[in-house]
Amino acid sequence: MTKTNRKKIKRYMEGEVAGLSIFLIVIVIAFSLASPKFLTGANLSSMAIQLPELGLLTLAMLIPILSGGLNLSITYTANMSGLALAWTLQAFGGPEAGVEAFILGCVLAFSVGALSGFVIGFVVAYTKAHPILVSLSMMILMRGIGEFMSHGKDITGFPQFVQNIGQGEIGGIPIPLLVFIACAIVWHIILSRTRQGFGTYMLGSNIMATAYSGISTKRNLIILYTLSGLMCSVAGIIMLSRFNSVRVGHGESFLLITVLACFLGAVNPFGGFGRVVPVVLALIILQVLTSGLNILGSNQHLSTALWGIFLIAVMVLRWAWWRFSIKIK
Amino acid sequence: MIPVIQLSNISKTFGGVRALINIDFEVMPGEVHCLAGENGCGKSTLIKIISGVYTPDPGANFTLMGQEHKTLSPAQARRIGVGVIWQDHALFPEMSVAENIAIESFVGLKSKLVRHKNIKDVAQKVCERLGVSFDLDAQVKTLPIAQKQLIAICRVLVSDARIVFMDEPTASLTQSETKHLLDVVRTLTAENVAVVFVSHRLAEVLEIADRVTVLRDGKKVGVYDASEMTLAKLTEKMTGLTINPAVVGQNLTKNETVLEVKQISRTGEYKDISFSIARGEVVGITGLLGAGRTELALSLFGMTRPEQGQIYLDGKAVKFKSNLEAISSGVAYVSEDRLSLGLIQDQSIENNLISTVLDKTIVCGGLLSFKKKKAIVGHWIKELSVKLGSTSDAISTLSGGNQQKVAIAKWLATKPKLLILDAPTVGVDIGAREGIFKIVRDLASKGLSILLISDEVSEVYFNSNRVLHMSNGCIQKEYVPARCNISELEDAIYGKNI
């Protein structure tokens, strides 16, 4: 192993990634000791199918948070994108629609997501309104349009190949999980290796100083919210294909969980710092907790409550660690 | 007489930087005590310790009004009678004069409710006591800076301050306003209130002070009776330099012109400004705070647009729509506000440094190359000899001088034609300042044109080929340091015999 490689791995293992990995290993061991059903193929594959929905929405939330903002419209933007695809498929014959219709529908779905993000970014960049307010307005707008046009009903009846996307596997790995992995890699590259990503981190720490350095913060904001919107579209399409239906309110409860997942993944809630890898680890931890508690027979609502306790505990532990590290200095 | 304040063995360490080292400090009732020293010598840190904002390192002893204290919180300090007038006044701009003055009388005291009726009475009483008058209903943000200063003084008196600290109170005042302020200070001392006056304007210090405590690089140099001090002696104590540095002698105006500004104006900021800078020339701009220096610099940097007049760069007329255009035409601006504009404090040294030249690290495929990034960062760290642990540390971990070097380096990396340095030594300790000016002279000798803005007259005088005096948004006069005395320039700025 070369010296730089060793250094790289060392840096990687430091801090958040190491902490989260250790915690993940501990809970996996704990659950597999507690129940023989935990480490079975069936459970693993059900986890692999459930993870991507929250995961994709969390990626959509991640970039705005890094810029010091938020995107509260992610779930409704995802469902509006899903609706755009659903209507296109229905217009072309519902279950009889062809691949061309699906592709057209996806283009429309992505347009909806991009437009939603673009508008948020544009308003945030030019009016300097707070992203919470702007994206909240977008959330209400998306929900209103969606409910108006779908009458709040489930839209269903899609071709078989669309369901295959949501429920199928390639090489034993569920397709939604593959999509999620691909998206996470793309996000990682954008954030660590592109001008856009660099600018996002910088403006998340101090937007004025970033502007003074000659980075176009307006452009960066518009692009980053558009990226967030596009990721919502991916989530919308995956949700449609997995449930074989679309409803405006799907995944509503995910919204705040995505913020917490980012936080658990050591993303600075005020912007400027955070990486994709720890966020993915955080998502896996949340999924393992849910599935594990489920197998142990706990009530679904109780496990939601346990997430809350867990996240509060993380906050307190981080604070304690921070105090401790100051002391030993 | 018992001293109002007696401190001993005060030290303060920030990270690895020792801002104060074993300071003893004592103020008698009714005394005007000056705390003198250059920027970064620890004056502000000392005030923050006395007012309870910072906790000193262990081993410190406080005796306030004859009582010993182990620790001090801001509220406690206030109760005992320590009043501080911060440099930015810390007023509430949206509230009225009366509310600002009386705020202490209804915050945190016995009554939980605000009695609006009393506010004006309280304010009025204090104004009479000080012999000043205001429109008590005016919103504070509409008033000039000198009035805000007086309001801040009235405010600390409401809570019966026994000792008042004034942090650089005259930095933005004109001569007559300064005179008025000094009169107010005398009124206070006549009432046996002690005043600690922090300033780096020595003439003023000698005029008003009974005693002077001089700090240098976090250490106490000594306490002196003002009557025994002269300007020259005090300067020597403050800077530790006895030799008079030489001025920049060369006349470079015959070199080709890099920047030429013709009669530019912007309402409320600057008016009818014309000047030029030749290749390799350092032109200084000095004047009081609020003279329009930074506003002018921001227009040259494309952040704002002049409403009239024309800017020429290398002979070509330019109209920058944004600072991006200014940067690509070769203008670089090192902000006076390193904390919030010049650098992104939380981010790493390397990210700050490449933020202006990110495009140079992009390789084919549009992806950032870590190797190139490292090369650029390494080059500039070495070039300006920045002292640091690791380039991935946050820039806030560096000392002021090293931060400023990074702030300059990030602009030099853009290979500018014109470098605007706005107050480059703010928060930089003396030792490191000389390093910054050495960089400035080196750059100029390599042909870079530099606009040096500073309110420290000696800085522009000793480092510029020409000096422009700016006040009220206009350039008053041009001085050539090689052909005039520094006191000529100082008199023009502060007015004679303050």
> CB-CB: which of B342, B358, B366 is closest to A209?
B342
> Chain A contacts of B324, Cβ < 8 Å?
214, 216
pLDDT at B204: 77
> Chain B contacts of A215, Cβ < 8 Å?
355, 358
For A206, name the nearest residue in chain B, comparing CA atoms only. B344
Give the whole-angstrom CA distance, residue A69 versus residue A225: 10
Q: Which one-letter DSSP state was computed for residue B82? A: E
User: pLDDT tens, B465-474?
Assistant: 999 999 888 9
Measured between alpha carbons, how far is B248 from B452 in angstroms, rounded to an integer?
13
Enter the pTM of the model: 0.79
For residue B408 the two structure tokens come to: 């300059």
Is A210 touching B (CB cutoff 8 A)?
yes
More confident residue, B212 or B205: B212
Is A122 or B432 the better-scoring residue by pLDDT?
A122
- The answer to whether residues A118 and A77 touch, using CB atoms and an 8 Å cutoff, is no
Indicate the average pLDDT of chain A.
89
Interchain pair A215, B358: CB under 8 A: yes
- Unique residue bearing structure tokens 């044109």: B449
Which two three-digit tokens encode residue B412? 């030099």
Q: Which of B134, B47, B107, B54 is nearest to B83 (CA)?
A: B47
The structure tokens 């502000």 sit at: B44
CB contact under 8 A, A216 and B324: yes
Cα distance between residue A162 and residue A152, in whole Å: 22
The pLDDT, as a whole number, for residue B169 is: 80
Asked if A326 reaches chain B (Cβ–Cβ under 8 Å), the answer is no
Q: Is the pLDDT of residue A3 over 60?
A: no
Residue A279 has a pLDDT of 95
pLDDT for res A2: 46
* CA-to-CA separations, A171 to A40, A177, A178, B1, in angstroms, rounded: 18, 12, 10, 90
Contact at CB, A209 and B359, closer than 8 angstroms: no
Q: What residues does B316 pair with on adjacent strands? A: B313
pLDDT, greater one: A328 or A181 = A181
User: What secondary structure letter does DSSP report for B227?
Assistant: G
Which range, of B38-47, B108-117, B118-127, B301-310, averages the lowest pLDDT? B108-117
**What is the distance between the alpha carbons of residues B82 and B67, in angstroms, rounded to a whole number?**
13
Contact A194 B342 (CB under 8 A): no
**In chain B, positions 389-418, which contact chain A (CB-CB < 8 Å)?**
410, 414
Give which of A67, A213, A270 to mutate to test B binding, by max B Cβ within 10 Å.
A213
Say yes or no: ipTM exceeds 0.95: no
Helices (H), B418-468: 430-445, 457-463
- The residues that bridge with B452 in the sheet, in sequence order, are B284, B421
- Closest partner residue to A214 (CB to CB) among B323, B342, B343 is B323
Enter the tokens of residue B410.
Answer: 């990030």
CB contact under 8 Å between A198 and B340, yes or no, is: no
A5 pLDDT above the threshold of 70: no
Phi, psi of A156 (to 5 degrees): -145, 175
Q: Minimal Cα–Cα distance from A198 to chain B, Å?
A: 8
B101: CB partners within 8 A, 6+ apart: B122, B123, B126, B127, B136, B151, B154, B155, B158
Q: Does residue A211 belong to the interface with chain B, where contact is any CB pair within 8 Å? A: yes
Q: Give the whole-angstrom CA distance, residue B343 versus residue A206.
A: 9
| Distance from the first to the final alpha carbon of chain A | 31
Q: Which residue has the higher pLDDT, B374 or B239?
A: B374
pLDDT of A144 over the 50 cut: yes
Cβ atoms of B279 and B447 closer than 8 Å: yes
B497 contact A CB<8A: no
Cα separation, B138 vs A242, whole angstroms: 65
CA–CA gap between residue B473 and residue B387 (Å, rounded): 38
| Inter-chain residue contact B323 with A212, CB threshold 8 Å | yes
- Give the strand pairing for B219-225 and B331-334: unpaired
Asked if pLDDT for residue A9 goes beyond 70, the answer is: no
One of 1.10.3470, 1.10.8, 3.10.150, 1.20.1080 is the CATH number of A17-24+39-316, namely 1.10.3470
Q: What is the pLDDT of residues B206-234, one digit of tens each?
A: 888 899 998 888 888 889 998 888 877 88
Which is higher by pLDDT, A95 or A239?
A239
Which chain B residues are within 8 Å of A214, Cβ to Cβ? 323-324, 327, 355-356, 414
Q: What is the pLDDT of residue B429?
A: 67
Closest chain B residue by Cα to residue A214:
B324
pLDDT at A1 over 50: no
Q: What is the DSSP string of A86-147?
A: HHHHHHTTGGG--HHHHHHHHHHHHHHHHHHHHHHHHHHHHH---HHHHHHHHHHHHHHHHH
B340, B342, B344 member nearest A202 (Cβ) = B344
**All domains of chain B in start order, with CATH:** 5-239 (3.40.50.300), 257-494 (3.40.50.300)
